[in-house]
Amino acid sequence: MRHIIASKMVSIVYTRNLYLRGISVVYLFAFASLYVQIPGLYGNNGLLPARTQMESKANGILAKFLSKPTLLWFGSYLGLETEYMMEVIALIGTTLAFIGMVSQKFCTMLSFALLWALYFSLYQVGQTFMWFQWDILLLEAGFLTIFVAPMRYVKPGKNRSQLYQNPVTFQLVRWLLFRLMFSSGVVKFTSGCPIWWGMKALSVHFESQCIPTPLAWYAHHLPEWFLKISMIGSHVIEVAVPFLFFFPLSAVRVTAFYLQIFLQLCIIITGNYNFFNLLTMVLCISLLNDNFFFTKKKGKGRSSESSWLLTILAKAVHLGVYGILLYFVKILFALRVTDKWTIESDTTFTKEDFERALGKAVPAAMLLGALPLALSSAEAVTAAILDGPNRFLSKVANFFYTIFYVTVAVFLFSVSLVPLASVHPPVLQASANNTIPALLKHWHSRVEPFQISNPYGLFRRMTGVGGRPEVVIEGSLSIDGPWKEYHFLYKPGDVNSSLSFVAPHQPRLDWQMWFAALQTYNQNPWIVSLAHRLLTGQPEVLQLMDTARNPFAKSPPRFLRASLYHYHYTLWSQKSSPTWWRRERIGEYFPIFSKDHPPLLEYLKKLKIIGPDASGKGKGKDRKEWTNKWLISFLVFLRSLTSQVEPSILLWSLFSSGCIIALTRRV
């Protein structure tokens, strides 16, 4: 039976390699985007200095590392303070990701383990500016990729043991994609938001999202019936289609792949969500296999006839599956064509109906995810025993190699059941339902700090129904005015400023300003730090904003205030106007601050953002002089070069360079 089982295993070598290159590209964008913002966000004069997160009473580097696992602790051994060490880590991550993008030889377990450790190190001190779902998604996907990647590079066909590993670990990527899409769709219903339930979210979303693209303005003005149908389509793609990820017929999965890619492309052209959609598209590669890229030659005679019959049967099943799906969509949303050739719809199921269906769907999803993992694991172990070299020691090595990956895969799959069950709490509660054993919840709590098994669900409730809230910051040299507005690089401010494409770069300050507008300034301590940095004219922070339109370029203002506005797109009848927005002032966001405002200074001293502990050099025996002058000089020089380039252009330049190099190489 030599090679019989292994030959039956569907090859995903090329598919896996494409996935690894894709993850490298995402890491490249993530590291490079964060690097350009480190001084303004995390420097000693930044909004939330990273040094405040590096305080530990533990003695010794090992004890400190165990208290907060981050490579930033090793900065003192290099003669670098925290800010410069963050830059070093980001640059190393960018370099490793770039190399992995251009050469398959470097897409190994060690490379991806380093990439994950580097990004996790930055995440550990990232605070509110890195508490985004795409950051934790990259950490979870990056951790899985460590086990998807080979231990060492071997030319295709030279190491059969990797064939046993591939289907097992790749199932985890598909499972992560399922959890991401299914949870993101379900939470919109479980939140009880009437905008989601009324299928009217897209009438608000294009206007209220964080950083819309120019096409979002046009999408917002599409007919209401079309936006409603589009909303239903996105729900189907997020909630129903993911169950087809596990369908045994590859054609069904390929169609699911196209649907997911279509959804992500629609999001990309209407909203700037940094590397999030690109990462999701890379995860979608797990729905494919090598047959998608390479067509097998057809045989002749009787085998050709049977192959023809199987092809007809497969197409019938394929069409039948999606035909049934469309039928239920028509019934559940009462789709009907009107006399005016528009499509009307209504939700025919209640919240109670959805809760009951969800209670059955979550355990069914767990079973659907476990079944292919169990089958591929059993097939891999059997192939490792029956296939491979005749030498006993080599066969034993292949066996234990496969057992290692199967064990890791089963463990990671098991702990991921906990966050999936959280979308329907009764499934998570062991006292009411034993679906999730207490042991799994215990192990999930142990690995949770490392962000390798996370819950997902964006936009649980639709915001900006009465107009998108925006915080407008103004400064003045006199308390009586005139007040001049500060401008940000990408978020809406000046109504005459055009919308832009900025992804895959994520301007984290602009994003956080969007969240701040949904709350009060007391709920966002970092915005108080922003006010102080503007009053003192800190160039690192100003670099995160539109310096070309800085109203206080010569000297900082004496007073600062912020107001809350509601923004709306201009009307379709005004499309010839250069104005994109109209706005009205709602009220005060934070009161007038001055540079020497006592409550402001006292608050920032408590946060150690300013004061005697703000130098980053420590006290007493912990005081360090940063002696690595040559490395610091190099970092300063490199920063001076990269700061001259607009971040999104810098990122696309790196990507384009990598593509050119990769295309001119054989591997």
Domain ranges of the chain: 1-159+626-667, 468-595
Spatial separation of the C-alpha atoms in residues 21 and 19, rounded to whole Å: 5
From CA 570, how far away is CA 29, in angstroms rounded? 33
State the Cα–Cα distance between residues 580 and 338, nearest whole angstrom. 33
Quote the DSSP letter at residue 579: -
Q: Which residue has the tokens 């401008």?
A: 487
**Beta strands at 484-485 and 343-344: parallel, antiparallel or unpaired:** unpaired
> DSSP string spanning 248-307?
SSHHHHHHHHHHHHHHHHHHHHHB--TTHHHHHHHHGGGG--GGGTSPPPP--THHHHHH
Confidence at residue 623, expressed as pLDDT on a 0 to 100 scale: 42
Half-sphere exposure of 78 (CA within 13 A, CB side): 18
Backbone angles phi, psi at 484, to 5 degrees: -115, 135
What global pTM score does this model have? 0.93
Pairwise CA distance, residues 87 & 42, whole Å? 10
Q: Which residues, 6 or more positions from 177, have their beta carbon under 8 angstroms from its beta carbon?
A: 242, 245, 260, 280, 283, 284, 286, 287
pLDDT of residue 401: 85
What are the per-10-residue average pLDDT scores of the chain (667 residues)? 49 91 98 97 95 86 89 92 96 98 94 98 96 96 96 67 72 97 94 90 93 95 94 95 95 97 96 96 96 69 69 93 95 88 88 93 94 92 75 79 92 95 75 70 93 89 90 95 94 89 95 94 93 95 94 94 96 82 94 90 88 54 62 94 94 95 77
Helices 438-447 and 392-421 cross at an angle (nearest 10°) of: 100
Show the tokens assigned to 433: 């339902």
Three state DSSP letters for 80-113? CCHHHHHHHHHHHHHHHHHHHHHCHHHCCHHHHH
Q: Which amino acid is at 59?
A: N
d(CA 69, CA 81): 17
Q: What is the pLDDT of residue 612?
A: 66
